[in-house]
Structure 1
């Protein structure tokens, strides 16, 4: 029994080391890629680079085996980046990012390639080049869970009155459950459209029954399709919305599985649509909407976010001044 306990302890230690190195290598590869793109369009991409560096550094520091910016790359490379992009280095310990690195990367690709087919094609090509490990549990190994920065699911939506305009969303790729919770709360408060935030907060922090949950009803002119990456074939396969997404956004489907909030990409995708298109925003119906309840949920989410950040604050010996 003692030998089994020692083996389990050693296996977990090996896993922690493996996952930390995995996260570092993924961060480094992604940083190298965005810097290559930045050299082609400096003025247009500087804001993206600032944001993606901030997001990577933050996810590293709140990981249980903390990774500092200098651990993602050589000291010389880190200092060179700091000279040109001081903001991410100054704020990663005091300001949580508003998006995950993959979400920002996806926006960069949409800006460059525009159409759904081209974005999907280029995204597959890039992921093959970056060679991120598969961010899922390895079959037959209960303790194996490779950490990565890749979103496993992306979603695309559009509307009939402007079919050439598409909106992309990504699942919240975070290295821990705690990090995902922080990003969900932060997104609800500061990033996502208020209608989407209200529905998500009701599910995430409201503790309501299914019958009392607010729901978004989109017009039938809206199409919304999620894709799950198949690593064996390097393709994106269509997937139906999970039960939670069917309930929250009144999306058609027969999927009876409910995935945790943040594991799906419909949330970000539909939020972008509502934020950009006033016609759709005005035509959306919200069941059981209550302004006072919305404000109460938002305040509750803020308190939970502050509480979560305070925990990491104690770990890092720094002052969290946000929100």
Structure 2
């Protein structure tokens, strides 16, 4: 028999502002999944900071206390994870909150079976009724791996889950989170979806890499969009151009490049418009744009990116 108090609590959550509801449910789920280990603790620490930051720049803004509400929960979390509460209003996250959820699922289930990872995430989204509002929730998952070896390690990514203005998270990930080659490709088009005339950091994936995306709504394969074709040379017939940096392929390939050096070297940018000097200039422009966007949102960035607390 359903618990009347629990049912009432769920109804109240449903009626809440969608951002606060999803923020609370994702934090609650991560705490439910948490099993004592250094990696799991770092992921909970990271998602708290990422969500608190998103609440800070949200319109209307939400403080950690407004998201969590319960005084005892707040006290317990501050005791175990103090730094997200201290630094959410000055340091930038390196990625959106749902990326932490994905990493926790992979950590607990292993990354060998991509179908299981997709099913677990889809079940989580359904059980929490997160599709009623896509705040902080990714719509797509992607996995990448080498094809010429048996039982390859797979590297996952999800689409951006930070709220508008999303360009803040794209820029933050370019400067502080993603692999340098992936970030260079994205910065070629950031922020106006128009290719820069004097810089080209786009890359072409080597033929021995598989990169497939799936919808978290229905589990079906998603063809690369035109943006991913432009960034990574992925074959596509799509003409729609998504925001550069939004797609799950970006995070998945970034994780692949960080861990598989020979693949990254094969994907080195080859354009005459790419050099370390030109890249440094583009990074400076992206950093300036990012600082201005944050000032517009009333966020006094201290120029540092958040790193989950060491254990």
Question: Is residue 19–residue 147 contact of structure 1 (8 Å, CA) maintained in 2?
Answer: no
Of residues 158, 167, 171 in structure 2, which corresponds to 1:170? 158
Aligned alpha-carbon RMSD (Å)? 2.1
The unaligned stretches of length 5 or more in structure 2 are: 1-13, 305-311
TM-score by length of 2: 0.85
State whether structure 2 residue 170 is matched by structure 1 residue 184.
yes
Deviation at 1:64, TM superposition (A): 1.4
Deviations 1:63-112 (CA, angstroms, capped at 9, x unpaired):
01001101112222112211111000000000011111101111111122
Of residues 119, 122, 126 in structure 1, which corresponds to 2:120? 122
Q: Which residue number in structure 2 is paired with residue 5 of structure 1?
A: none
Of residues 263, 273, 297 in structure 2, which corresponds to 1:312? 297
Instruction: Work out the CA distance in 1 between the residues paired with 2:253 and 2:209.
Output: 10
CA change 1:205–1:24 in 2 (3 A) is closer
Of residues 193, 202, 226 in structure 1, which corresponds to 2:179? 193
CA change 1:147–1:37 in 2 (3 A) is closer
Question: Is residue 188–residue 196 contact of structure 2 (8 Å, CA) maintained in 1?
Answer: no
Instruction: Work out the CA distance in 2 between the residues paired with 1:209 and 1:307.
Output: 20
Of residues 258, 277, 287 in structure 2, which corresponds to 1:302? 287
Deviations 1:191-250 (CA, angstroms, capped at 9, x unpaired):
1111111111111148535897442111111001111232xxxx3111111111101100
State whether structure 2 residue 42 is matched by structure 1 residue 47.
yes
State whether structure 2 residue 14 is matched by structure 1 residue 23.
no
Instruction: Work out the CA distance in 2 between the residues paired with 1:109 and 1:267.
Output: 19
Deviations 1:129-152 (CA, angstroms, capped at 9, x unpaired):
211034xxxxxxxxxxx4511101
Q: Which residue number in structure 1 is paired with residue 263 of structure 2?
A: 280
Instruction: Work out the CA distance in 2 between the residues paired with 1:209 and 1:83.
Output: 47
Question: Is residue 186–residue 245 contact of structure 2 (8 Å, CA) maintained in 1?
Answer: no
The unaligned stretches of length 5 or more in structure 1 are: 1-17, 135-145
TM-score by length of 1: 0.82
Instruction: Work out the CA distance in 2 between the residues paired with 1:209 and 1:298.
Output: 13
Instruction: Work out the CA distance in 1 between the residues paired with 2:278 and 2:88.
Output: 32
Question: Is residue 98–residue 186 contact of structure 1 (8 Å, CA) maintained in 2?
Answer: yes
Deviations 1:237-265 (CA, angstroms, capped at 9, x unpaired):
11111111101100011111111123311
Instruction: Work out the CA distance in 1 between the residues paired with 2:134 and 2:115.
Output: 28
Question: Is residue 202–residue 214 contact of structure 1 (8 Å, CA) maintained in 2?
Answer: yes
Of structures 1 and 2, the one with the larger relative CO (CA 8 A, separation 6+) is 2
